[in-house]
Structure 1
């Protein structure tokens, strides 16, 4: 069945509407909702019930289920391994007390008057290997401790810390949304890492400054949080900093080394390997070392020794710590894969191509469309991972048609990531974690956290768009 351009776009919009309805109104689990929507959209758009083999005149046409399988498989080929390894590294750092070491050292170096900026720097670094929700909860004891010493409420230090952590989470690999989006678009993870890390520096400063301005206004603390805050440091405290009695936090240098090690290896493969002739030993070696999977395997091996074995952890405990990272990672992996399936359906049905043609007709630059579509999806259903992977699938035909170079393709992926940063509100689990621990009501959360994430998302996009305009398309 062949549909006109406008009909394909309407089917695509209806599919996205159905997805949002299932997730938001009926509280359906995101993985199942994505697979179900993919089936419905594929059937309505005219995909065959089963694969039609290629003939002398026509190429093979995938059936609905076969297209979904291909989309999941194509996305998870690298995403599953990256997310699982990244979760393991983050969990070892988390349970070893690395967060406390990192934030404590930066606070001492910058002094009591600059504690807020010190915590933002520490949080930005910690957020690279640790997922947002877990990373923020790890830092809550540090936020509470410094707030009590300074005689301030937790939101003073907690708001900018949460802002930079979420900004890193949506744009810097190995976090699942950006890795999934990169896989769908065929973007280079190394270039995404370099670009997003550089942009994260001004974003960290902006998070600190915007939060400081927001905090000029006094926000009443929820009674439950007030009680938790007042009891902090006493036997009544329910917040666990992660270290067991008698255990000592690792040195800050060790934690920094483990976080930066995979990033340095990835950058070697991206920036240094091309300097050597293709096919040479040096080129091949550096290219392999720079693969994100290899870099994370090396970093985890180093963490197992430096944070585990050298500090007295048994092999059994190390295994338990790494195993404990996988259940949460599994859910994220499946949702990312389902996002890839939805993207494949949109491509196979021609909906993605129709969207690309419509975007071309409006004259809207693909970099702007990348940000706006992701932002709208993020606001509508709450999950940055779903927003990023779905947007990447929608824009894949448009990006492919432009024949962009690796750097500009990476910039499109980063723009999608920053779209997933903004407009965090009540349908986002991160909204509830931040507001609960900082003692904000829903109304005050919408006045503080939602504007902060949106400002940071827009700022990240503007920097990304400027780079996209300046750098030639073929680069």
Structure 2
């Protein structure tokens, strides 16, 4: 099928998806599954391959998301019901002052997101965002939007995250230079994320009913659990910091130690996000459940109560993976990148634009970065570029993978559902924020390129 036809089908599919969700209020899970099938049929995918492709898309996404969402939700619910999140938020608000809390949260998110994948770090921070917002008397989107924005920015350009590391390997770029440049750009973007978050929040977004119910009940269960015995700040921080430290140890070992090294293997095991969150759940039994005097049944009931809301996030996220898989297997992503490559853009700009387009087409920032690096590796190897310039090119590609997060991105659904944003409001806020941060990051990269050139 021709490139114009494939691109037309992609645009029609995304338009139909938005129409079903926004105009006709079809549940996002049903809408994405239906549109995925229609796009597969329209592109001429063999009928016998459609259902296996849907299953692969669902399984590939949920394999990395479902367990983390469930464990993160259980940990967050335990902190919430015990009164720990509210207690921590009130304590920090007293120490920092209400006006400094959003900036402090954004800065903390930047640091924490260096060793931790975006989805994991955001899920871990959600109860803290809720607690601070409760203490400040604002909706979670007020503080959560810039927090999520800077975490995703770090995820796409700072090693050891998989997209930028894989892209660096393809381009044979220096990881050290990428780390310095990427981290420096993210530090500059942190205050911008705060400013943009405030600008996007100048209007009030109606909270989704399910999120509004959960947020209204947030910390309310602490009265039944013993409000006077809410966990202290040290206990709550331990539950958050310990899994992050374990994950950091795993990623550091994978970066510094050779393959096959026994210590690297051990650190990779304890640093796996699933294992790290399991450790946090175990600590929650000791630091919260036992301290609160909960029976085993009470503890199980608290953790189980986190799963119904999490199931919606899991299913919708999986459906996003299905749609992304169909767009990839059908050849739409390759057609889009090929069309942009043929346009003859300057190398740095081409890397950003191709990555941005692939990100919009199939949803995964990692796939967008790796694919773009593969498309441009010949041009890079054929040019007389310095190691710093190659690193800048990799970072520009990474920032392309930051923008245009929308309905085919699992992160879009995680952020919007936890912050209570409808699809339309998510497009107005989260999609705009990621795109502006991506453009700003590319602008910084282009400026450095001009200075070095």
> Displacement, 1:116?
1.3
1:38 and 1:341 in contact (8 A); partners too? yes
Within 5 A, what are the aligned runs for 1:188-227? 205-206=191-192
Residue by residue over 1:85-135, the C-alpha shift from the partner in whole angstroms, topping out at 9 and shown as x without a partner, is 12112222222222222222223333xxx4311354258759945488876
Structure-to-structure mapping, 1:112-123, within 5 angstroms = 114-118=97-101, 120-122=103-105
Could you tell me which residue of structure 1 aligns to residue 10 of structure 2? 12
SS at match of 2:342: helix
Is 1:420 the counterpart of 2:412 in the alignment? no
Q: Secondary structure at the match of 1:47?
A: coil
Question: For this pair of structures, how many residues does the alignment match?
Answer: 390
Partner residue of 1:349 out of 330, 346, 365: 330
1:30 paired residue among 28, 31, 41:
28
Equivalent-residue separation in structure 2 for 1:295 and 1:249 (angstroms) = 24
Change (3 A) 1:407 1:264: farther
Q: Is contact 2:150-2:190 (8 Å) kept?
A: no
Are 1:277 and 2:277 an aligned pair?
no
Question: How far 1:39 sits from its partner (Å)?
Answer: 0.9
Equivalent position of 1:317 in the other structure = 298
Q: Distance in 2 between matches of 1:213 and 1:24?
A: 23
Distance 2:245 2:91 in 1: 22
User: Counterparts in 2 of 1:398-417, with a 5 A limit?
Assistant: 398=372, 401=375, 416-417=401-402
Q: Distance in 2 between matches of 1:304 and 1:209?
A: 39
Instruction: Give the structure 2 partner of residue 143 of structure 1.
Output: 136
Give structure 1 stretches of 5+ with no counterpart. Answer: 51-62, 145-153, 174-180, 189-193, 223-237, 378-386, 422-427, 436-441
Measure the CA separation in 2 of the matches of 1:103 and 1:195.
33
In the alignment, the residues of structure 2 paired with residue 347 and residue 213 of structure 1 have an alpha-carbon distance, to the nearest angstrom, of 35
Q: How does 1:40-439 map to 2 (within 5 A)?
A: 40-50=38-48, 63-110=49-96, 114-118=97-101, 120-122=103-105, 128=121, 130=123, 137-144=130-137, 161-167=143-149, 205-206=191-192, 241-242=219-220, 243-244=222-223, 246-247=226-227, 248-362=229-343, 363=345, 364-371=349-356, 388=363, 397-398=371-372, 401=375, 416-417=401-402, 419-420=404-405
Change (3 A) 1:76 1:94: same
> Which sits farther off after the overlay, 319-328 or 355-364?
355-364
Aligned to 1:380: none
Query: What is the deviation of 1:272?
Result: 2.5
Q: Deviations over 1:300-339 (max 9, x none)?
A: 2112221222321221121112111111221111122212
Q: What is the alpha-carbon distance in structure 1 between the residues aligned to residue 323 and residue 162 of structure 2?
A: 15
- Alpha-carbon distance between aligned partners in 2 of 1:261 and 1:372, rounded to the nearest angstrom: 37
The aligned residue for residue 57 of structure 1 is: none
Q: Distance in 2 between matches of 1:299 and 1:23?
A: 36
Whether the aligned pair in 2 keeps the contact of 1:74 and 1:340 (CA below 8 Å) is: yes
2 CA distance for matches of 1:88 and 1:392? 27
User: What TM-score does the superposition give when structure 2 sets the normalisation length?
Assistant: 0.68
Matched residues in 1 for 2:7 and 2:167: separation?
25
Q: Cα RMSD (Å) of the superposition?
A: 4.9
Separation in structure 1 between the aligned mates of residue 75 and residue 104 of structure 2, nearest angstrom: 20
Name the one with the larger helix percent.
2
Calculate the TM-score normalised by the size of structure 1.
0.65
The equivalent of 1:191 in structure 2 is: none
The equivalent residue for 1:459 is 437
Equivalent residues of 2:93, 2:135 under 8 A apart: no
State the SS of the aligned residue for 1:89: helix
CA offsets per residue over residues 391-425 of structure 1, 9 Å max, x none? 7777875455457999998986775455439xxxx
User: What is the CA distance between 1:203 and its match in structure 2?
Assistant: 5.4
Q: Distance in 2 between matches of 1:124 and 1:317?
A: 36
- Measured after TM superposition, the shift of residue 270 of structure 1 is 1.3
TM-fit CA distance, 1:214: 9.6
Aligned partners of 1:348 and 1:22: how far apart in 2?
Answer: 23
For the Cα contact (< 8 Å) 1:103–1:142, is it kept in 2?
yes
How far 1:41 sits from its partner (Å)?
1.0
Distance 1:72 1:450, change over 3 A: closer
Q: Distance in 2 between matches of 1:214 and 1:11?
A: 31
Q: Using the TM superposition, give the Cα deviation of residue 281 of structure 1 relative to its aligned residue in structure 2, in angstroms.
A: 1.3
Q: Alpha-carbon deviations, 1:200-240, whole Å to 9, x = none?
A: 7665544555678999x9x99x9xxxxxxxxxxxxxxx876
